[in-house]
Structure 1
Amino acid sequence: MIDPKILKEDIHSCKDNLAKRGYSLDDKKFLSLENQRKDLQTNVEELQAKKNKLSKNFGELKKSGQSTDELSLELEKTKSQTIDLEKNLSVLQTEISTFLMDIPNLISEDTPTGTSEDDNKLIEEYLKPQVLKSDSHIEITDQISLELGNKLSGSRFSVLKGSVAKLHRSLCTYMINEAINNGYEETYVPYIVNYDALEGTGQLPKFEEDLFKLSNDQYLIPTAEVPLTNLFRDQIVSEHLLPIKLTAHTPCFRSEAGSYGKDTNGLIRLHQFDKIEIVQIVKPQDSEKALDEITSHAKSILKKLELPFKVVQLCSGDVGFSASKTFDIEVWMPSQEKYREISSCSNFLDFQARRSKIRFKENGKNHFVHTLNGSALAVGRTLIAVIENNFNQKLKIINIPKELQNLMDADVIKL
């Protein structure tokens, strides 16, 4: 949630900023709601002051033995008016909160302006692709089965077997160990969360169609960002605990609404996939540095696996709802002859913290923390990149990156 104070003080700058995302802020509606709130707040406070004064006079009259009949009627009338106005104020505040919940985060000043991924800014390239074209991962090995996934669960599910399943597990282990070595505390979290958790991180109420909803207002997690961040919901975190750095390996569940017909062949876009998430909760002045750190931690895995990748900064039209600034890391996929996203690293500033009420106390005052997260990495897409970039068609083998050979107890996968 955007700081309402910023909207009140400079709504026109906010409107211009949000317009770069393609979001049209209804400034007239907000100002109208805010003016109504001010008037109601003033009236409520005046009635509360009047009620307190009448209560005091009532007590004095009663103590002196004088009649309180007339004053009692006026006091009851004032109490009733106060209750009615307080109810109206509560309804109005809920309407304002709903309005604010729909507004995306303000983008950072250095976010490039644009409307789509074509306008993203190239930041870095690492390694030139050695394999410019290859068969698809599902053509290279028969140990990936979309047919069995469909048999068990429907479209966009997969079953991995044998050495490929072990490679997938090895990648999970390797990535979580890398996160721990980089100072993140490993955390095991539920894969099912409630409405409040998803509202806090920004998936709800706006993006419910992207989620798998269960009963009793519970949902399968779309990413470990949700439970990890919400561990601190409605809390005042001790200052000495900051920065907080957490990691978790979880499956992620996404309905992929709106992606009909896209990436239907292979592991690129599934309803269920594994990911290692890294999350930082920091003081506001430290969040820009933390974003660079998270991005470097995600990049380091690809470097150690010797996979070609590039880093782009997302343009204003491509930045996610809750984020203020985002770097995407894209790995080379030879079968597609292009780079595909494998990690997204974002700074949310205090946007999620306001929705989740995550604060810290400094110099006797409460302040909202800044939250950040990144994928380190999406396991399925890393698996694809390892298979396709290391496939030796002549020898019919997949060369295993050196970093994974101990975990795999092998240096090649024979096909």
Structure 2
Amino acid sequence: MHDIRVIRDDPAAFDAALARRGLAPMSPEILALDADRRARIAAAETAQADQNKASKEVGAAKARGDDAEFERLRALVGEKKSEIAAMQAEADALDAQLRDLLMTIPNLPLDSVPDGADEDDNVEIRRWGEPPALDFQPVEHFEIAGVRAGMDFATAAKLSGARFVLLSGAVARIHRALAQFMLDLHVTRHELIETWTPVLVLTEMMEGTGQLPKFGEESYQTREGWWLIPTAEVTLTNTVHGDLVDQATLPRRMVAHSQCFRSEAGSAGRDTAGMLRQHQFEKVEMVSITDAEAGLAEHDRMTRCAETVLETLGLPYRTIVLCTGDMGFGARITHDLEVWLPGQGKYREISSVSYCGDFQARRMNARYRPTEGGRPEFVHTLNGSGLAVGRTLIAVLENGQRADGSVDLPAALRPYLGGATRLSAEGRLV
């Protein structure tokens, strides 16, 4: 959420930043609401002062026996009390209206973020590895002979409908191994704190990280009112919801493996084949909570954590910085990692690493107490996939595929697969 004081101080700069996201100016509407709210508050304060003065005079009039003045002043006190209540109610309503408006406005991009309208304007900043030189026509993951028996979309559709998958046998074990490998790498090498979180959260938690109120159609809500998390970003980031922490405890670097749920609203017809875009999937999610000074350096660190997963698995990828038109709602800057998928013949997103500044912290009212004293400040938050497990499975299968329908598996997974180095064309680990 945005600081109303910043908008008051420089509305033109605020609107210019929104324009970089392709949005119309909003400061006139925001400041008009703010002015009305402040006017009601000021009027209520004036009426309160008048009431206090009249209350004192009531006692004096009674003491000197001036009944007419006593009755007039008592009536005035009652009138002022009603006026104050009405003006406070109006101020509260305007305050809620202003907050609701601010909650729907995306974060402002950093100056370094490239301008652009969509993904075509994203900028590649580095590339690692070479796509495998295959002497046969590669296929997509679900078409590989050794994968077919362990990746069942028909049964999943019978159970749950479209955009679900049932994994079994060796494929399910590789999927599980990938999640375990990622967690171990982040905990041992990157020193992230492994965390296990609920997948059902309260509405306030979804609001805190920006999934609500604007994007409610993209998530699932239970009859009881809980929301199914679209990513563990929601739970990990909200661990400091409403808290005042000591600066000395920052940064807090966490990682969690969780089920994730997304309705995929607006994605009809996109990536319908295979398991690239599912309603239920798994991710290993990284979240960092930092002070104001460390945020950008932490963004680079977190990006390297995600890149290291791909490099250790030997998967070719490129790192891009998203342009203003393709960046997520809560981000000030985002690095996307795109892995090479031979079956599609192109790079596809496997991780987004975003720096949010204090945008989420304002929504959560999460602050830190500076070590050197002074007023509390809002924490800065970051989140990133480290990685999406299903998409990593796709990348492993497609990059390791062989002409006979078998798959060569990354050496990093061998300890998790009982020493197996290959998925056979018959679907067995060997």
Same fold (TM over 0.5): yes
- Worse overlay, 62-71 or 23-32: 62-71
1:41-60 matched pairs, under 5 angstroms: 41-58=41-58
- Evaluate the alpha carbon distance shift between residue 93 and residue 176 of structure 1 in structure 2; reply closer, same or farther with a 3 A threshold: same
One-letter identity of the residue aligned with 1:398: V
- Kept after mapping to 2: 8 A contact 1:131/1:389: no
| Secondary structure, aligned partner of 1:284 | coil
1:71 is aligned, of 66, 70, 73, to 73
| Secondary structure, aligned partner of 1:375 | strand
What CA distance in whole angstroms lies between the structure 1 residues aligned with 2:367 and 2:65?
Answer: 52
Q: How many residues align?
A: 414
CA deviation after TM superposition for structure 1 residue 38, in Å: 2.4
Equivalent residue for 1:91? 93
- Kept after mapping to 2: 8 A contact 1:25/1:103: no
Unpaired segments ≥5 residues, structure 1: none
1:139 is aligned, of 131, 140, 143, to 143
Equivalent residue for 1:100? 102
- Evaluate the alpha carbon distance shift between residue 52 and residue 179 of structure 1 in structure 2; reply closer, same or farther with a 3 A threshold: farther
1:14-413 matched pairs, under 5 angstroms: 14-58=14-58, 68-131=70-133, 134-140=138-144, 141-142=147-148, 143-181=150-188, 182-362=190-370, 363-394=373-404, 396-409=405-418, 410-413=420-423
What CA distance in whole angstroms lies between the structure 1 residues aligned with 2:240 and 2:18?
Answer: 28
What CA distance in whole angstroms lies between the structure 2 residues aligned with 1:270 and 1:87?
Answer: 46
One-letter identity of the residue aligned with 2:234: V
- Worse overlay, 362-371 or 132-141: 132-141
Q: Please give the per-residue CA displacement for 1:299-319, whole angstroms capped at 9, x wherever unaligned.
A: 000000010000000000000
- Kept after mapping to 2: 8 A contact 1:191/1:250: yes
CA deviation after TM superposition for structure 1 residue 62, in Å: 6.0
CA deviation after TM superposition for structure 1 residue 60, in Å: 5.6
- Kept after mapping to 1: 8 A contact 2:408/2:422: yes
CA deviation after TM superposition for structure 1 residue 411, in Å: 1.4
Q: TM-score, normalised by structure 2?
A: 0.93
Give me the CA root mean square deviation: 1.6
- Kept after mapping to 1: 8 A contact 2:219/2:227: yes
- Worse overlay, 337-346 or 134-143: 134-143
CA deviation after TM superposition for structure 1 residue 403, in Å: 0.8
- Worse overlay, 181-190 or 44-53: 44-53
Q: Please give the per-residue CA displacement for 1:28-81, whole angstroms capped at 9, x wherever unaligned.
A: 222221221222121111112222333344456667887543322221211111
Q: Please give the per-residue CA displacement for 1:299-353, whole angstroms capped at 9, x wherever unaligned.
A: 0000000100000000000000111100000000000000000000000101111
What CA distance in whole angstroms lies between the structure 1 residues aligned with 2:262 and 2:26?
Answer: 30
What CA distance in whole angstroms lies between the structure 2 residues aligned with 1:240 and 1:71?
Answer: 57
- Evaluate the alpha carbon distance shift between residue 231 and residue 66 of structure 1 in structure 2; reply closer, same or farther with a 3 A threshold: farther
What CA distance in whole angstroms lies between the structure 1 residues aligned with 2:384 and 2:358?
Answer: 16
What CA distance in whole angstroms lies between the structure 2 residues aligned with 1:150 and 1:205?
Answer: 30
What CA distance in whole angstroms lies between the structure 1 residues aligned with 2:408 and 2:191?
Answer: 30
- Evaluate the alpha carbon distance shift between residue 61 and residue 242 of structure 1 in structure 2; reply closer, same or farther with a 3 A threshold: farther
- Worse overlay, 73-82 or 260-269: 73-82
CA deviation after TM superposition for structure 1 residue 238, in Å: 2.1
Q: Please give the per-residue CA displacement for 1:361-382, whole angstroms capped at 9, x wherever unaligned.
A: 2214121111100000000000
What CA distance in whole angstroms lies between the structure 2 residues aligned with 1:171 and 1:9?
Answer: 49
- Kept after mapping to 1: 8 A contact 2:318/2:337: yes
- Kept after mapping to 1: 8 A contact 2:218/2:265: yes
What CA distance in whole angstroms lies between the structure 1 residues aligned with 2:361 and 2:164?
Answer: 34
One-letter identity of the residue aligned with 1:370: H
| Secondary structure, aligned partner of 1:94 | helix
- Evaluate the alpha carbon distance shift between residue 65 and residue 167 of structure 1 in structure 2; reply closer, same or farther with a 3 A threshold: farther
Q: TM-score, normalised by structure 1?
A: 0.96
